[in-house]
Amino acid sequence: MIHEINFMGLLANVDSSILILNEILPDGIEIRSFNRDDECLEFFNELTGSSYQDTQLRLYQNSCWSPNNETYYFYSSFSADINQIQDRTDIDKGLNKFRNNSLAEIEHVIKMLRLYKEGNVQMPFRYYYKDTSGIMLLTGEHTCESIEAKPFVLNKDEFKDFKKFINNGKFFINTSVNLAFSNFEASYEVNHFNIKFLTLMNAMEILFHPAEAGELSYRISRNFAVLMGTNIEESKKYYKDMKKFYSKRSDLVHRGYTKKRITIGDVNKLRKYVRDSIKVFLDLHETEIYEILTYHGFGEREAVFEEIKEKVKKDQQNQEE
């Protein structure tokens, strides 16, 4: 028998500003909210059988309460055949189709939000349920993602910029950037700080180390500092930070521990460096930039970008000829 199945994906670390995304979400997907405690608690009591106290604790521990005590969630629905056999409920191909399409769209939006700016947007709870003659839970999922309490806020000006950012098709062209982005995303999905740190260092290596042999920590630290530093002092800071991170990485990989522990501050700073770097590389196409970085120095970012633009322009002219 064909039934309408409802999907709810609870969001963590967001506030009411997340609702502005409804302007750009595909048809059939929207962000909703529970606007008072009782409404939310009553719903989950009926959906999962959880007591009010258990529900409050679960939502609080997973950062699903916003500062104004609202809970925000992605909502969608789809049709599926449901057969109940010996009290086991199965959902036919409709569920797989939903996961491959609408849910993939939702997950893409979340990933782009985390890449766009700092803030740990997560969807830790996912529920599929019927709501005809009473709410009936079909299946629920609790992801193993790391719920760091880092709120995400999107103001109106940022939203205008984000609309352009999320439609940047170049993101899917550069395979190195995609691989670096996968490591960036992995840093959100594990709980251990050391593993978060290593995945982010992998991303930096993918972005800033050319295929040729060379001293790893020096070349990556220098390339990052030259490309990202807007002045000499900023480049020096970036270089010093990356050398420190590589010292910790070396200890961790070769000894299994670090003399100076990896802190949440290290992870947050390194993640910002990876985020900012990926966003720069999105505009570089497949341009070979390592030679350009080699003969430019600290504080010469503008000159680097001008030379890259000239190289891209020349490459495009050669292709047209």
For residue range 14-59, what is the model confidence (pLDDT) as tens digits? 999 999 999 999 999 999 998 767 788 889 989 988 888 888 888 8
Instruction: Name the DSSP letter for residue 14.
Output: B
Q: Is the pTM of this model over 0.85?
A: yes
The residue-averaged pLDDT of 102-127 equals 93
Cβ atoms within 10 Å, residue 291: 11
* Tens digit of each residue's pLDDT (9 = 90 or more) over 243-254: 999 999 988 888
Q: Using an 8 Å Cβ cutoff, are 118 and 126 in contact?
A: no
Give me Rg for the CA atoms of the chain. Answer: 23
**Coil, helix or strand at residue 125:** strand
State CA 45 to chain mean position distance: 31
Say yes or no to pLDDT of 215 above 90.
no
pLDDT tier at 111, thresholds 50, 70, 90:
very high
Using alpha carbons, select from 181, 54, 190, 158 the residue that is nearest to residue 111.
181
Q: Give the pLDDT of residue 77.
A: 93
First-last CA distance in the chain: 61
Euclidean distance between CA atoms 316 and 306, whole angstroms: 15
